[in-house]
Structure 1
Amino acid sequence: MGDKSAVIENKQQLVDYIASGSKPKSDWRIGTEHEKFAFCSKSLKTLPYEGEKSVRALLDDMAQFDEWTPVYENDNIIALKGNDGSSVTLEPGGQVELSGAPLETIHQTCKEVGTHLEQAKKVAADLDVSFLGLGYQPKWSVDDIPWMPKGRYKIMREYMPKVGTLGVDMMKATCTVQVNLDFASEADMVRKFRTSIALQPVATALWANSPFRNGKPNGLLSFRSHIWTDTDGDRCGTLPFVFEEGFGFESYVDYMLNVPMYFVYRDGKYIDASGQSFKDFIDGKLPALPGERPTITDWEDHLTTAFPEVRLKKFLEMRGADGGPWGRLCALPAFWVGLLYDEQALDQAEQLIKGWSLEDNEYLRERVPYTALNTEFKGQTIGDIALDLLDIAQGGLKRRGNLNLSGQDESKFLEPLYKIAESGETQAEIMLKEFETRWKGDIDQLFKDHAY
């Protein structure tokens, strides 16, 4: 699938595009992404795009490091491209995201995250700016958060209120950490997709870290996760069809063809195609571009506009975790690599979910954002299941046998998760206690205690 300008004339080309992601185990890589809130250290306000202390100033200053090349849209710097395949990008409310390079080990991932945070903090210190790793903006309302000047965000923000009540919250006020993983074949993709989408609520529980909204407790432990249940029913959720017999690349393409479009990108501009059909586009009947047919690049863009708990492109994206403290950014790839990149671990994880029904998956999806590890399920708690999964992941990472210079394998990155699962207390619950006691109900203390 080398030529991205190739015109799409039939569905098989779309299936072939996703299938071309299959690769031998020796070529499997780990891509980690994390978002964080940037804020003014004194006022605690989220940064505007323009100005002395701004997102633009942050990106301009980071562009001075040798490995980054600035990316512009209409004269606005909107991203940095790394020479190793990594990038720094902006979410709609100015959240700063590192999309990591495809790496071989979690030791490399941790080094990458560490280098990025060092650079970001160095630049931020000069601007008197700080960063916060949390799943949801704890203090400011969405109206207080400025929009970033990206064409696709304008289209999305106008469309969101038509299909759900929390879409704008998702865009402007959430942060996540996710990991992108490879598959060997269609059959391998199916096993990994089914296992990871069933287990996504366990990750949501372990990483639960968004208990505040507008300066007060919001009644949930992962408000970020709950937001996705009322963002857009056409493009979110647990994808029951993944568990149907015969599921494969083509089934996912069929799903994506039924996801309404947002936009088409032409000549540096985003053309509003919100609510229109990619099928009509293939037939040359897209109202936004009559007579024109899509290219592979248009299909790539469209694949980024669905937001299920696990997303398929040429790889699988694990999307269930809240953003969090530095130590937990490397724990997410460790958790999923341990479960999915080792044959024995994947077998064990499949056995663990064997008796779960679609109703079970839906129950966990709805309930876990409220009660996290204390969610009761089949005579035990999600905390119990998390401990079992951590043991499985630990075995998988030990068998991978990737050692750092001190002779430690990748399972060391699971340590913060064991602490959470053994205590039964998430980061969200720890902060709620701090809010009631040490902070005396003052949310500003969170920024002081938990900034990177």
Structure 2
Amino acid sequence: MAGSEQNDTPIDDRRQLIDYLASGCKPKSAWRIGTEHEKFGFRLSNHNPLPYDGPNGIRAMLEGLRQFGWQPIMEGENIIGLSQDGASITLEPGGQFELSGAPLETLHATCAEVNTHLAQVKQVASELDIGFLGLGFSPLWTRAETPVMPKGRYEIMTRYMPKRGTLGLDMMYRSCTVQVNLDFASEADMARKFRVGLALQPIATALFANSPFTEGKPNGYLSFRSHVWTDTDPDRSGMLPFVFEDGFGFERYVDYALDVPMYFIRRDGTYLNCAGMSFRDFMDGKLPARPGDRPTIDDFMDHLSTIFPEVRLKTFLEMRGADAGPWDRLCALPAFWVGILYDNHALDGAWELVKGRSSEF
């Protein structure tokens, strides 16, 4: 969900990281729904992808949306996103245009938010010769034809990705998703939802499969996007078998996260390359990029955002397995998961169906 607050509390011990994840526990009355989706922009006149700069580019789209009350998010001299009332608009590496919705009370509210956003985007885009496409993978453009957004974190990731798999750059630059972010009441509730979410994620992938074309041709997959994830940095993606082990909870996820190699840290508004370094070393003041420096909760939050399993834990749970799609599917995906995970009878029934298969993950 959009709108995470900054937290520069220094980390003195591992317990703080566990407590940070546990701080997401909340009563059912406070549970919310956050929908995120991405889409590909292109020129209507020639079907080329959108560059960042120029009179009809991504920057112009972001500037145009400010008429609706969105506030700019800057990195240096570049506008790289927008924020408003707990929601944000951000850019993925290849210019994929993302709405990270606010935490809202009902499916109707999150769907209305999506509809309002798309109407605003359509109004601005129509004035700029821009169209948007809801698919899970870029259907036409090669990686070389895909623009690069001016964000420091992506520059670091782009250099590191080819070292850990062959399709990581395709994930970054040529894929789009729709996901929903959901709350939990307790550690036990988190573990149960995490397990069911992981076990059923392949079903969501199949139901929302929407990426059969690559570079203008059928690629042999219903969801090429999901195939891309099978060869994208195994240190930080895929299924998580340990989630199904006895005793799984916040502490076990922290241990997993600490063992995922870092990408970067932010200092004074600049991303510093820490690719492949250890967050455990960082906690001991032994980060090669910043000897003697120690992390804050903000650093841990950044690190969590660079871990990409099919279900991701922050202070909420992210369901991440679906391809992006057309207007109606952007509301269907949160409905699918809310119906299963926010109803105790449905959640119990789902677990009964999948618990015997947990060893397969």
TM-score, length basis structure 2: 0.98
User: In structure 1, what is the Cα distance between the partners aligned to 2:358 and 2:268?
Assistant: 47
For residue 311 of structure 1, give the secondary structure of its aligned residue in structure 2.
strand
Question: What is the RMSD computed on CA atoms of the aligned residues?
Answer: 1.1
How many Å apart are 1:2 and its aligned residue?
8.4
Structure 2 residue corresponding to 1:4, chosen from 3, 7, 22: 7
Residue by residue, what CA displacement relative to the aligned partner does 1:155-189 show, whole Å, maximum 9, x if unpaired? Answer: 00000000010011001100000000000000000
Structure 2 residue corresponding to 1:42, chosen from 20, 42, 45: 45
Name the structure with the higher helix share.
1
Unaligned ranges ≥5, structure 2: none
For residue 137 of structure 1, give the secondary structure of its aligned residue in structure 2.
coil
CA contact (8 A) 2:244 2:358 kept: no
How many Å apart are 1:199 and its aligned residue?
0.3
**Percent of aligned pairs with the same amino acid:** 66
User: In structure 2, what is the Cα distance between the partners aligned to 1:156 and 1:247?
Assistant: 30
Paired residue type of 1:81: S
User: In structure 2, what is the Cα distance between the partners aligned to 1:71 and 1:315?
Assistant: 24
Structure 2 residue corresponding to 1:56, chosen from 45, 54, 59: 59
Q: Which has the higher contact order (CA 8 A, sep 6+)?
A: 2
Query: 2:117 maps to which residue?
Result: 116
The structure whose Rg is larger is: 1
User: In structure 2, what is the Cα distance between the partners aligned to 1:163 and 1:63?
Assistant: 38
User: In structure 1, what is the Cα distance between the partners aligned to 2:191 and 2:59?
Assistant: 41
For residue 14 of structure 1, give the secondary structure of its aligned residue in structure 2.
helix
Query: 1:392 maps to which residue?
Result: none
Instruction: Spell out the pairing of 1:145-164 with structure 2 (5 A cutoff).
Output: 145-164=146-165
User: In structure 1, what is the Cα distance between the partners aligned to 2:146 and 2:48?
Assistant: 8
User: In structure 2, what is the Cα distance between the partners aligned to 1:229 and 1:239?
Assistant: 13
Unaligned ranges ≥5, structure 1: 362-452
Paired residue type of 2:29: S
User: In structure 2, what is the Cα distance between the partners aligned to 1:213 and 1:317?
Assistant: 27
Instruction: Spell out the pairing of 1:6-405 with structure 2 (5 A cutoff).
Output: 6-66=9-69, 68-82=70-84, 84-359=85-360, 361=361
CA contact (8 A) 2:340 2:347 kept: yes
User: In structure 2, what is the Cα distance between the partners aligned to 1:92 and 1:5?
Assistant: 26
Query: 1:437 maps to which residue?
Result: none
How many Å apart are 1:358 and its aligned residue?
2.6
User: In structure 2, what is the Cα distance between the partners aligned to 1:119 and 1:48?
Assistant: 20
User: In structure 2, what is the Cα distance between the partners aligned to 1:4 and 1:336?
Assistant: 29
Paired residue type of 2:67: Q
Paired residue type of 1:151: G
Residue by residue, what CA displacement relative to the aligned partner does 1:217-259 show, whole Å, maximum 9, x if unpaired? Answer: 1111101011111010100011000001110000000000000
Q: Which runs of structure 1 show a deviation greater than 6 angstroms over 4 or more consecutive aligned residues?
A: none
Alignment coverage as a number of residue pairs: 358
